[in-house]
Structure 1
């Protein structure tokens, strides 16, 4: 289950499949369909057992007040399944199937809603939210990213999905420039399946403590000094052992930079203390996306 109240395990090693992924050599279409029906019934039985376990956990005190939404735990589940996946089942289909199951488990345990800003476009937050949290999870539309963040901070929604930071200069502040951390944290980069060098299409923000998964990335917000150009900021991060995957800098309304760096950063990380910036804030840590193929 995606939200069992237990420590996150170490990232699993690739497993040898327990059974071969070859289908029996049926020569009759009716026999193939009968076998598919038998498998469907077995899958349904297991899904009902899983739902009963989630219902038991929700009704009991097993969780001890732990959050139902645990994105690090979910990432480990999907990584383990992707590592053992064999045969004709496509990786995107596997992830979509389990994402729907995880969403159903979240819905069983409470009123789980997702806040999104009003927008249009192929890579909209609504599309990302549906792909990650399932087609039945309620989405709450807000006029701006700041209103979506406020809905999460106020407990109206469990998570907000916001667009990726823009490199182009704009007069108004970006959501990441005014996000209240550590009260709010970026907890996931979307989508979970992506090309190795692709930048995230959106981020999930929640009021959760981050949990390491073994392969993580971190977002850091930097208030630079007068002599800290973008190349200079990148050089300083690299010298500190935090080479940025990408880095943007905004001048309006105040100079500020945002960088995604590899690894799980904690507040007491000595590499951060050695950096010469007037102020640096960890905006979030999250699981590194998995390759599409």
Structure 2
């Protein structure tokens, strides 16, 4: 009887594991095809209507549900990345999709955020100013716009959020969805209302009196039952503009808005609160 090389058991084990992976790949592919067929039926459903297929709140809720049940060596950020591709493939089935992003160049941080969130296949068009990116969205040239997260250092041109054409255009998502403390942040603006994910923050813009201090604005919000998780205050000419991030999904008819002492109070949209990535 010929001698069996000592590596044979290891090779047999590797072959068996690869066969198991192949079977799993086939099962995953079957499910992807099945999911795509359901998406195609949804796209053709009269009940759905002809609106945009972009539903960031629904996507965030799905990701949170999957992450809550996730276990094993596959990193949480990779799970999000895989499902982001699944989401974008589903959107592509329902129609063309493209992104306008304000960034100095295609390699900048905000352009990278757009590519990572919407996938490398999505058409991404870089614009030199927020106004140009919003004009492309408003004109129907793109599906969404990715703009820098507001900051108190924003000049008049950079403070796109102070002039957003709501309710026609609204903030619908925040990037990245997996928190990255050291990276840039961005907001996604779309031609659809924001949809609730179950854990959200609403962006509320108020125009206060010219001399209003941050403490006065924060207190007025709290007194109305709308404490701000974050508050940005800037002066625009004789105006004092405050952008508050309110915990929860705030509706325009919410009675607490009427309790605010300012006539101009505008909901700019909402976004799903980002999830925590993998702990070191």
**Which ranges in structure 1 are unaligned for 5 or more consecutive residues?**
1-25
Do structure 1's residue 180 and structure 2's residue 165 form an aligned pair? yes
Measure, in 2, the Cα distance between the counterparts of 1:51 and 1:146.
36
The answer as to whether partners of 1:185 and 1:284 remain within 8 angstroms in 2 is yes
Q: Could you list the structure 1 runs, at least 4 aligned residues long, displaced by more than 4 angstroms after superposition.
A: 120-123, 197-200
The alpha carbon displacement at 1:202 in A equals 0.5
The answer as to whether partners of 2:129 and 2:158 remain within 8 angstroms in 1 is no
The alpha carbon displacement at 1:62 in A equals 5.2
Equivalent in the alignment of 1:285: 270
The alpha carbon displacement at 1:278 in A equals 3.5
CA-to-partner distance for each residue in 1:40-65, whole Å, 9 max, x for gaps? 12111211222233234334545232
RMSD: 2.3
The alpha carbon displacement at 1:218 in A equals 0.4
SS at structure 1 position matched to 2:271: strand
Do structure 1's residue 32 and structure 2's residue 32 form an aligned pair? no
Q: 1:207 aligns with which of 173, 191, 200?
A: 191
Do structure 1's residue 219 and structure 2's residue 203 form an aligned pair? yes
The alpha carbon displacement at 1:183 in A equals 1.1
| More helix, by proportion | 2
SS at structure 1 position matched to 2:166: coil
Equivalent in the alignment of 1:133: 118
The answer as to whether partners of 1:115 and 1:148 remain within 8 angstroms in 2 is yes
The answer as to whether partners of 2:117 and 2:176 remain within 8 angstroms in 1 is yes
SS at structure 1 position matched to 2:268: strand
The alpha carbon displacement at 1:72 in A equals 1.4
The answer as to whether partners of 1:245 and 1:261 remain within 8 angstroms in 2 is yes
SS at structure 2 position matched to 1:43: helix
SS at structure 2 position matched to 1:128: helix
Within-5 A mapping of 1:1-293:
28-59=13-44, 61=46, 63-120=48-105, 124-168=109-153, 170=155, 172=157, 174-194=159-179, 201-253=185-237, 254-293=239-278
Structure 1 residues 193 and 27: alpha-carbon distance in aligned structure 2, compared to 1, 3 A threshold: farther
Pairs aligned (count): 267
CA-to-partner distance for each residue in 1:3-48, whole Å, 9 max, x for gaps? xxxxxxxxxxxxxxxxxxxxxxx98222222211221121112112
Structure 1 residues 278 and 60: alpha-carbon distance in aligned structure 2, compared to 1, 3 A threshold: closer
TM-score in terms of structure 1 length: 0.83
The answer as to whether partners of 1:189 and 1:200 remain within 8 angstroms in 2 is no
Higher Cα radius of gyration: 2
Measure, in 2, the Cα distance between the counterparts of 1:108 and 1:34.
31
TM-score in terms of structure 2 length: 0.87
The alpha carbon displacement at 1:227 in A equals 3.6
The answer as to whether partners of 1:169 and 1:252 remain within 8 angstroms in 2 is no
The answer as to whether partners of 1:161 and 1:204 remain within 8 angstroms in 2 is yes
